[in-house]
Amino acid sequence: MRRFEETAGQPRPGISDLLLTTRGRRSGLFRRTALAYVRDGEADGEDGAAYVLTASNAGADRHPAWYLNLAADPAVTLRVGAETFPATAHRATPAEADRLWPVVVAAMPSYAAYRAATAREIPLVLVTRTGRGRVT
């Protein structure tokens, strides 16, 4: 996350990264996680394009904590580049996932290996902006 701050939101050249802030499902505390993403322009048109996150947990047999947190409370905050804004998350429907997995794997080929490494279905999460206002 320090590298995210130091590079104005571009810590890994060629990879789109963002910071996701969720509310802990048990603690109620805010939790921030750096994640790679792709955009889904079909979600609401280009201006409302969703950020697609992959709950891969590097192919582990359990969901990552950030996914469990947003499943409990879908109101999240995203930081993309220098912009921070409120957003809402939802798990991709089966049709959305079928359409998006090739896009996700094209952007990050390691996700194909993560899918092969686990018996669990790795969720894709679509996150859309809920307002234009900046949050702190």
pTM, two decimal places: 0.84
The per-residue pLDDT for 99 is: 96
More confidently predicted of 7 and 16: 16
**Distance, CA of 53 to CA of 38 (rounded, Å):** 7
* Average pLDDT of every residue of the chain: 86
Give the mean pLDDT of 55-68: 96
In this structure, what is the dihedral angle of CA atoms 71, 61, 58, 35, given to the nearest 10 degrees?
Answer: 10
Amino acid making up residue 11? P
C-alpha separations of 39 from 72, 90, 118 in Å: 23, 14, 25
**Each residue of 89-124: pLDDT tens digit?**
999 999 999 999 999 999 999 999 999 999 999 999
Which tens digits make up the pLDDT trace of 35-46? 999 999 765 444
Say if CB 19 and CB 82 are below 8 A apart: no
Task: Return the closest-CA partner of residue 11 out of 42, 36, 48, 47.
Answer: 36
Give whole-number Cα distances, 132 to 22, 88, 102, in Å.
19, 13, 30
Backbone dihedral angles phi then psi of residue 31, each to the nearest 5 degrees: -125, 130
Q: 135: pLDDT confidence band, cut at 50, 70 and 90?
A: very low
pLDDT of 81: 86
Say what the pLDDT of residue 3 is.
64
Q: How far is CA 50 from the centre of its chain?
A: 10
Q: pLDDT tens digits for 66-94?
A: 999 999 999 999 999 888 999 999 999 99
